């Protein structure tokens, strides 16, 4: 469903509460490892500032579970945002209450205030109505630009949207514009690559894609369960025995639906789960006892590439191997290079997949790198995301 965006409402001089997704990875010292999510929020913030809004940003970071956790304060994020937008960002000591109200009252037009981590209050995740009212009291309008948090019905994503005129930000608009190109009327052939570790997490999206895609590629740890379901020996590979039946059902359904389903035909096996493990490439059915699959082999990538070559739209979630270990990142990196050069709409999503693609330096050659993990998967499943549903219809 189409939603109104910041372009559809009068913003001048208004106090605008903007839910952003600043849930960035930090190292142990609190240094921001990847600021994609902060950068991705810049167009909306810039637009609102240019329109003369008083911009009140709210966000969560990590899982403080309703308590103040010093290492999860948003001050370092405010500093990075100030650098990126080349203009000051004030930090509030909390996200609700008298001090915050005073900080909002002091905001000038075009100025930016970042509220403290929403999840320091248990009421945020509980979608507590009184907490949502306190957030709403800070502003005249609400903008949701936090696509990555839109699958959560929390006070700052859903509750507050019921209390103020609520519209989508430019990132939210961009995410849904790209992802709807897969969900609704994709340019065909449509290809999907699903990898990653846990099949249980991906069953929903697999089933949804099965009904839509012309080519469906399964790689990563997930593929092991499919290989085992086909009767292959998988050694000590990660396998979800509880999903063997589901894997067989996916294989059958693909055949019925004329969806070309591709599993690895060769695999890189290691003698242990470690970055420096001994490794070799073997046919998918010949994993030696005591060895485990940590990547797909070159012949698999060649087959995948051949099948994807004619696709006009390709979506990818989940690394094809244990890409954190450089030795086992080869399959994913080779596929990333292939997709970067493909004449198709290319969309990548999922925290680890997006990070891996950015590591290859090829991110700019993909059409869209989603900031969403769970939200990305649920959107592809065709589910309604509560943070989007609560916004004004366009």
Binding site for Mg ion (CB under 5 A): 351-352
DSSP 3-state of 345: strand
Residue among 54 and 330 whose Cβ is closer to ligand ADP = 330
318 binds, among Mg ion, ligand ADP, none (CB under 5 to 8 A by kind): ligand ADP
37 is catalytic: yes
Residues with Cβ within 8 Å of 31's Cβ and at least 6 positions away in sequence, in order, are: 76
Identified catalytic residue from 66, 110, 285, 374: 374
DSSP 3-state of 23: coil
324 binds, among Mg ion, ligand ADP, none (CB under 5 to 8 A by kind): ligand ADP
Distances (CA, A) of 44 to 52, 112, 220, 293, 297: 13, 12, 35, 43, 42
Residues with Cβ within 8 Å of 134's Cβ and at least 6 positions away in sequence, in order, are: 96, 97
Residue among 165 and 195 whose Cβ is closer to ligand ADP = 195
318 is catalytic: no
- Neighbour count for residue 206 (Cβ, 10 Å): 24
DSSP string, 209-271: HHTT-SEEEE-HHHHHHHHHHTT-B-TT----GGGHHHHHHHHHHHHHHT-EEE--SEEEEES
> Of 91, 342, 54, 107, nearest to 215 (Cα)?
342
127 DSSP 8-state letter:
T
Residue among 166 and 354 whose Cβ is closer to ligand ADP = 354
373 is catalytic: no
Chain mean position to CA 12: 32
Identified catalytic residue from 198, 248, 299, 312: 198
DSSP 3-state of 382: coil
> At its nearest, how many Å lie between ligand ADP and the CB of residue 268?
9
353 binds, among Mg ion, ligand ADP, none (CB under 5 to 8 A by kind): ligand ADP
197 binds, among ligand ADP, Mg ion, none (CB under 5 to 8 A by kind): ligand ADP
> At its nearest, how many Å lie between ligand ADP and the CB of residue 176?
19
374 is catalytic: yes
> At its nearest, how many Å lie between ligand ADP and the CB of residue 197?
3
Residue among 62 and 110 whose Cβ is closer to ligand ADP = 62
> At its nearest, how many Å lie between ligand ADP and the CB of residue 318?
4
Task: Give the residues lining the site for ligand ADP (CB under 6 A).
Answer: 195-197, 220-221, 238, 293-294, 317-319, 321-322, 324, 350-353, 373
Residue among 177 and 275 whose Cβ is closer to ligand ADP = 275
- In angstroms and rounded to an integer, the radius of gyration of the C-alpha atoms of the chain is 22
306 binds, among ligand ADP, Mg ion, none (CB under 5 to 8 A by kind): none
Let me know: does 266 contact 284? Beta carbons within 8 Å: yes
> At its nearest, how many Å lie between ligand ADP and the CB of residue 353?
3
10 Å CB burial of residue 63 (0-12, 13-18, 19+) is: exposed
Q: Catalytic amino acids?
A: 37, 198, 351, 374
């Amino acid at each position: 469903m189409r939603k109104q965006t910041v372009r559809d409402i009068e913003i001048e001089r208004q106090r605008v509460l903007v839910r952003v997704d600043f849930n960035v990875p930090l190292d142990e010292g609190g240094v921001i490892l990847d600021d994609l999510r902060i950068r991705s929020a810049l167009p909306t913030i810039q637009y609102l500032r240019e329109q003369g809004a008083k911009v009140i940003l709210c966000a969560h970071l990590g899982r403080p579970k309703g308590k103040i956790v010093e290492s999860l304060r948003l001050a370092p994020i405010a500093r990075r945002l100030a650098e990126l937008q080349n203009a000051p960002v004030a930090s509030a000591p909390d996200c609700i209450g008298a001090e915050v109200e005073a900080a909002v009252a002091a905001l000038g037009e075009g100025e930016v205030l970042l509220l403290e981590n929403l999840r320091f209050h248990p009421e945020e995740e509980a979608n507590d109505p009184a907490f949502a009212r306190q957030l709403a009291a800070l502003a005249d309008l609400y903008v949701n630009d936090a696509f990555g948090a839109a699958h959560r019905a929390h006070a700052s994503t859903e509750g507050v949207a019921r209390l103020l005129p609520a519209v989508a930000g430019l990132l939210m608009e961009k995410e849904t514009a790209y992802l709807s190109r897969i969900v609704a009327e994709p340019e065909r052939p449509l290809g999907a690559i699903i990898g990653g570790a846990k099949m249980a997490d991906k069953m929903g999206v697999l089933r949804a894609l099965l009904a839509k895609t012309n080519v469906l590629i399964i790689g990563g740890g997930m593929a092991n369960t499919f290989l085992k379901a086909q009767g292959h020996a998988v050694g000590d590979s990660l396998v979800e025995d509880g999903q063997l039946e589901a894997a067989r059902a996916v294989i059958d359904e693909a055949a019925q639906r004329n969806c070309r389903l591709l599993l690895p035909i060769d695999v890189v096996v290691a003698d242990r789960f470690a970055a420096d493990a001994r490794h070799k490439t073997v046919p998918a059915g010949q994993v030696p006892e005591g060895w485990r699959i940590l990547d797909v082999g070159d012949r698999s990538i060649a087959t995948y590439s051949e099948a994807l070559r004619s696709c006009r739209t390709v979506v990818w979630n989940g690394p094809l191997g244990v890409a954190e270990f450089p030795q086992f990142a080869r399959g994913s990196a080779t596929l990333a290079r292939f997709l970067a050069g493909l004449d198709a709409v290319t969309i990548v999503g999922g925290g680890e997949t997006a990070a891996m693609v950015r590591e290859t330096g090829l991110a700019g050659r993909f059409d869209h790198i989603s900031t969403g993990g769970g939200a990305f998967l649920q959107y592809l499943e065709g589910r309604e995301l509560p943070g989007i549903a609560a916004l004004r219809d366009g």
